Structure formats: C-alpha cells, structure tokens
A and B are shown apart, each in its own frame.
Chain A
Amino acid sequence: MTLSAIAEPTGAAGLATGGTPAGRRKRTLRVVQRRAGLGLSSVAIILFIAFWVAPLIATLMLSFTDYGLSRETSWVGFANYERMFGNDEFWNSLGVTVVFTFFAVGPTLALALLLALPLVKPGRVVTAIRAAIFIPAVMPLVAASLLWQVIYQTGGVADQVVGLVGLGPQPWLKDPQLAVVSLLIMVIWKYVGLYVIIFIAGLQAIPGNLYEAAAIDGARPLRTFFLITVPQLRRTFLFVIIVGVTGAVQAFVPAYLLTKGGPVDATQVLPLLLFNNAFLFSRFGYASAIAIVLLALLLVFAFLQFKLVDEPED
C-alpha cells in the first residue's frame, strides 16, 4: 500500500475541503509527500543534470565551435555540420554504421530465437548449453576483440576452419568487404548468448494454455510458432531490438581494436570517426557535431522501432 493510499480519505469525508481538519491534514500530507519525493529523487536529478543534461548541452554548444583543446575557440555557426554533410568520409561512415547495425542485429536476433526455442525447458544439459552460449556475452569486449584478432590472423583458426572445406587463407581483416563480415561474425558470436537468455525468459512467460488450446485446435508447430509464440514475444522483440540497435550504432571497440576502421575506411563506423576526430585530430567541435548526428540517428531508430513493434493496446 502506498503512502497516498493511506492518506486518501474515503467516502463523504473525501469531499471535505480545506476548511476542515481532515482537509488540512490532507494538504499537509500532500506537501510532505511532494517534499519527500523531491528530496528522495534530488540525488538522481542532480546526477542526471550533471552527467547527462549538462554534457549534452556542452556537446551541442561545442558542435558550433572550432574547439580543439587549448587552441583559441571561436563560434563557427553551422560550419562543422556543413563540413560533415559535404564530406564523403562522413557519408561512408554513416553507410557503414547502418549496414553494420542491420546485419549485426538481424542475424543475431534470428539466431538467438532459434537457439532459445529448444533451450526453454529446464534440464541439466540445457542449463549447461545455456551457460556455454552465454560465456562470450560475459567476456570483456576488449578481450574478445583481441581474441578474434588472433583468430583472424593469417594461418589462424579462421583460416584453418575454411581450410576444412578446401579454401585457402583469407584476408579476413584486409579485404574491405570481408573485413565487415569478419567484424559481424565476431559481434554476433559475442552477443547471441545474451539475447538467447532474454528470449528464453520471454518464452517462459507465455502462458502454457495458449499452446494447449492451439494443440486442441490441431495447429501445427510452425503455425503455433507464428501465431502464438511470435506475437506473444512482441514486447521481448521490442526490448532486444532497441538494445541491439542502440548497441550496434554505438559499436566502437570491435572496429577500433580489430581494424582501426580500415582497410580504406571499410569498417569506419560513426563512433570511430567521432573518436578519431576528437582524440587523434583534436577536432572536438567537429566530433561534437558527429555526436549530435549520432544521437539524432539513435532517436530516429528508437522512434521507428516503437512504431513498428509496439502495439496500441497491450
């Protein structure tokens, strides 16, 4: 029971206004409630303003300057944005980011759902398989990236695997097209376990009587999957897509550690372009403009996802 529920007068007394002792008590309680609420949330509000709102405003302001650490800073209006939108490197990075996001999230979710279906039911073997699939997800991303760097080196594990089907060594990180695929394989391997666990939780929450009713009606497994499982997982889908897309758009470490954005900018995702401009080239103003565009991109993605996946009535 909440504090307001305790304080709320019932019946005719509830209609009492400020003039009565009950009304005064009610007003006092409300004031106390408001103050308590403000007091309890003030730390979070201060932290939110200090570490989110203020830096966001600062970033927005910096995006209109030529700030480069200690150089004299001046307002440049929309020059950073003009430079960005007129720059092939930016459009290349945007394209790489979109492709990377699409092919990182889509296959990961599909694979995760396929793996989750047989792992829903409890059992020792199933638990062991779930744990094994989850291991890459708990591995630090930096460690995972370094591991894959070794896997992809000439004569490494990746070459040995393709050698089993008669293929020779491949330029995993040196060919512009293959480098993107190599990054995607690593990212899918890293995150599929996390989504498997989320899908298992979603599948376990589906009421069993729906499946029983479908079985009585003679529905076949595929029909049951598409007409019961998938719709019932709508909320889970929304969650994993938002988390997946947000993570993929921000993905920085794999490209930074495995390819440095190369070869020839083939894997230069937007966060890496931003990082290079800020911390290698000291173009903080320009990097801030990229950050603002990245933020806008994420907001658009999030909005579209809610529109596509969310239902009007839950």
Chain B
Amino acid sequence: MFSRRLAATAGVATVAMVLAACSSGSTDAGDELPELQEPSGSLVIWEHANEANQAYFEEKYAEYEAETGVDIEVLYIPIADLQTKLQTAFGAGNPPDIIKIGAWQMTSLVERGYMSELDPVNYGAGDLAGFEALFEDGALDPVTFDDAVYGVPTDFNSVSLWYRKDRFEEAGLDPNSPPTTWEEVAEVSEILTSADGSKVGLQTTLNGDPIWAQLVFQPLIEGLGGSILSEDGTAGGLNTPEGIAALEYYANIGNPDLTAPIGGFSMFADGTAAMLLGGRFMTGFMPSLNPELVYGENFATTTIPSWEGEDAVASGYSWAWGVTEDSENKATAWNLIGWLNEQDRANDQLAATGLVTPLAGWTDLEAAQDEASAVMQEQLPYTSYGVQTPFWNEIMTALAQTLDAVALGQSTPEEAAAEFDARVADITG
C-alpha cells in the first residue's frame, strides 16, 4: 500500500513537473497596474484552523458574501498539515485562490512562482506607494521578496515575555516587576520551579516546531551579537562563541521532559509554566485554552529581556494573506483581502482575536489600547525577522532538533553547534 502511495505521489509530481515546464517564465505584474474590477464569482480560501479565530472570520466572510454576491468556500486546515497540503495542491496545479500562511514559508512559494504579486488597485490602495503607506514601517518586510510585495501581513507579532502574575505572587515575587534580563529570567525561573520539576519558570514554547525554534532562539543569539544564519542564508552561525553561549542558556530553560498537547502554550495556560515567549495573539489565545485567564489580571506581558549590558533583540514574524498565481479570480481575491484589512475591520479583528494587522498607526485603534499592544509597538524597532531563505523549513527543522539535543542532554552545546552548521552547509550546498 505504501508503494502505491509513493507511486501516486510520484504521479502527482510527474504531472506537476510537466505543468511547471509548461508555465515557466516570470510575470511582470509590477510593470503595469491591473484594472479595477467588480468583485464577482467565487473564491476558495485555505487558512490554518484555530478555534479562537474561526468564528470571527466566518462572520466577516458572510458579510463580504452579502455585500458583493461573491461565493466563498473556506477550508480550515490543522496548522501542522497546512504546508504539506499546500505543497500537494501546488504540485497538482490545483491550489486555492487565497491562502493565509506564515510569511516565513512564503519564500519558497514565491521562488517557485506559485504566488501572485500584490494587485494594489483591486486591494483598494490605488498603487503600490498607496499600499505601502497603509502599513507600519518594516511591516511589509516579511512579505517582500526582491523588492516586490507578495502578501499582506496579518497576525503580525513581535515575540515578548509573557508571565503568570498568579504564579509570581504564589512564589513571593512581585507580579508587577517581571525580569528584564536573561540572567534575571534564569534566577526567577529557579524560584518558580518546584522541587519535582512539575512546575517551571520559563518553559520552551513548542519543542520540535521549526518556527518556534527560531522565535525563541533568535533573541538569545542575536542579543549576544550572533545570528542563526549568515546574512545570505547559506552558512550556520551556531558554532561561534555567541551561538554556543546561547545554546548553553537554552539547555537550562524549563523542563524538557514535560509533555502537553500544544507544548508550552498548554503549560502556560494551566499554570505549569510561569513564563513563556509568545506573541500579541496570546491575549485571545490563552483565554481560549483556559477561560479563567484574564489578560492583565492573572497574566501579562513585558518586553523581551536583554543580556546584561547588551541591547535587546526581539523575534518578529507575520502571517500573510496571499493570492496564488493559478487563481482565476485574482482581482476579487485581492479585493477581499483589502476589505478584510480595512481599518475598522483590523480593529474588529484585534478585539475579537488578538491578531494584529500592522496598519500605520495601529496602536491608535480602539482595540489596541492595552499594555500588550504597547509592548509590541515598543519592541518593533529592535525586532528581527530572521533571514529569508528558500530552505527555511529544512534549516529550522535542523535548528529545532539541535535545540532538543542540547535541552535533553543528548549533545553538548559545542557538538550540537558544530553539527548544525555542518547540516546547514549540506542543505544549502
């Protein structure tokens, strides 16, 4: 049966190869502005399943359908399967019209010509300059490739330190004075960790997950002046004094033996972990996991810690709305994306889900009048989004394994760092 599965995969791949050969050549969408079109027809949207957000989007899609007569079909896909499902859909030449994916995974799709360049006219911005003016400085970086914009950022985050105020109080710590340096985080973690290790201070966010491996490790290594990858993304940077020091620190974060359905998120929600690195989405996400959690009352956030005597570096990432190159209804697709991200709806979205659309002046929105938004805004000037590379999945999977290896004591930081750099060379070579 497995051989058949493989064979079917190969068959799909063969067809995709033929299709790819037939559709080679790049588009010059940026040379001439498309015409403004009335929304019509139907759209298929794929986005990752998230119970906390689905109700909001269902309501908005229904509104858009009522306003325009466009027929929308949405498929919510478990986040772990989204990339795989997209790969097969693109390979078979049958992708949806609109996808919402992590901008970090967009590079490889853009490189293969799967994504269409932004249509600012049908988005409702007039032209590219008008579109760029709608967003915060730097917010379009994660969706810009070779000076062309391919997506619209949403669920935009700068990762900060989240902490359980109730756990701090229980441990006799001041819940209004969270740690500000990594050294302090380690000290406070020790106080917050129970003797049997079942309760911990700072816990890793999501073991084995590539994006969270990058988001958690990046502030540690870049805060010391190092980097996970070289600027051109072809060489690893762990086998350096900064990389090894960051790995040594990482090896002592939390308890790697603890298991929960969604890792550190679940542990933070049930109080097992007193601290976690997370994004602005936590204000909506945590209460969805534990209704007793109320932002500001029993959990809060503060800016990402720095190393003593060093400048802080935060990790940033964004999800993005994009339109596929194979879509037969691109104009309507961009129109819907523009409609979803108008200022009023950006406000509704933030209020309902905690997801930020980084429009210029988004912190002035009514829903952004809270400390979490202020913390994120404060961090943006020193937020790093990492290196764009078409090998992102492979390299960050290797990073996740490297971090697991040091956390579980399977490798020393030196061994793990050398192995990671060798793997990056193998992957990119």
Asked if A291 is at the interface (CB within 8 A of a chain B CB), the reply is yes
Beta-carbon contact of B10 and A58 below 8 Å: yes
Which residues between 212 and 266 of chain A lie within 8 Å of chain B, taking CB atoms?
A: 249-250, 252, 260, 262-265
Contact flag A55-B6 (CB < 8 Å), given A69-B90, A69-B112: yes
8 Å CB interface, B50-94 against A: 83-84, 87-88, 90-91
A153 touches B401 (CB 8 A): no
Partner of B401, one of A62, A265, A281, A291: A265
CB-defined A-B contacts under 8 Å, sample of 20: A51-B11, A55-B8, A55-B14, A56-B10, A69-B90, A70-B16, A70-B23, A153-B260, A172-B259, A174-B207, A250-B2, A263-B256, A264-B404, A264-B405, A264-B410, A264-B411, A280-B83, A282-B108, A288-B6, A291-B3
Summarize B's interface: helix, strand, loop or mixed. helix
List which A266-311 residues lie within 8 A (CB) of chain B: 271, 274, 276, 278-282, 284, 288, 291, 294-295, 298
Contacts of A71 in B (CB 8 A): 20, 111-112
Interface assignment of B394: CB less than 8 Å from any CB of chain A: yes
B191 at the interface (CB under 8 A from A): no
Contact pick for A69, options B87, B259, B393, CB 8 Å: B87
Residues of B within 8 Å of A, CB-based: how many? Answer: 50
> A153 touching B259 by the CB < 8 A rule?
yes
Scoring A62, A153, A282 by chain B CB atoms within 10 A of each residue's CB, the highest score goes to: A282
Contact with A along B1-27 (1 / 0, CB 8 A): 111101111110110110010011000
Q: Judging by beta carbons under 8 Å apart, are A281 and B208 in contact?
A: no
Cβ contact within 8 Å between B87 and A263: no
In the complex, which of the residues B1, B3, B114, B394 contacts A281, with contact meaning CB atoms closer than 8 Å? B394
- In the complex, the chain A residue whose C-beta lies closest to that of B408 is A263
Which partner residue on chain B sits nearest A168 by CB separation? Answer: B196
Whether the pair B410, A59 counts as a contact (CB closer than 8 A) is no
A154 proximal to B (CB < 8 A): yes
Residues in B neighbouring A153, C-beta threshold 8 A: 259-261
Alpha-carbon distance A69/B95, docked complex (angstroms)? 13
Q: Does A201 contact B (CB under 8 A)?
A: no
Instruction: Determine if B11 and A54 form an interchain contact, defined as CB atoms under 8 angstroms apart.
Output: yes
Residues of A within 8 A of B17 (CB): 67, 73
Q: How far is the CA of A271 from the CA of B17 in the complex (A)?
A: 23
Q: Are B261 and A149 in contact (CB under 8 A)?
A: yes
Please tell me if the beta carbons of B260 and A176 are within 8 angstroms of each other in the complex. no
Q: Which of B1, B2, B8 has the most CB of A within 10 A?
A: B2
For B14, give the chain A residue with the smallest CB separation: A58
B198 at the interface (CB under 8 A from A): yes
Residues of A near B20 (CB, < 8 A) are 69-71
Nearest CB in chain A: distance from B145 CB, A: 15
The reply to whether B401 and A55 form a contact with Cβ atoms under 8 Å apart is no
Question: Which of B246-301 touch A at CB < 8 Å?
Answer: 256-261, 272
Chain B, residues 397-414, CB within 8 Å of chain A (1/0): the string is 100010011001011000
| Pairwise interchain contact A56-B259, C-beta atoms closer than 8 A | no
A169 at the binding interface (Cβ < 8 Å): yes
| Per-residue interface assignment for chain B, residues 379 to 423, with 1 indicating a CB less than 8 Å from any chain A CB and 0 otherwise | 000000000000101100100010011001011000000000000
- Which A residues lie within 8 Å of B391 (CB)? 281
Of the residues A87, A264, A280, contact of B393 by C-beta under 8 Å: A280
Q: Is B113 an interface residue (CB 8 A)?
A: yes
Q: Which residues of A contact B87 (CB under 8 A)?
A: 69, 279-280, 282
**What residues on B are CB-neighbors of A154 within 8 Å?**
198, 257-260, 272
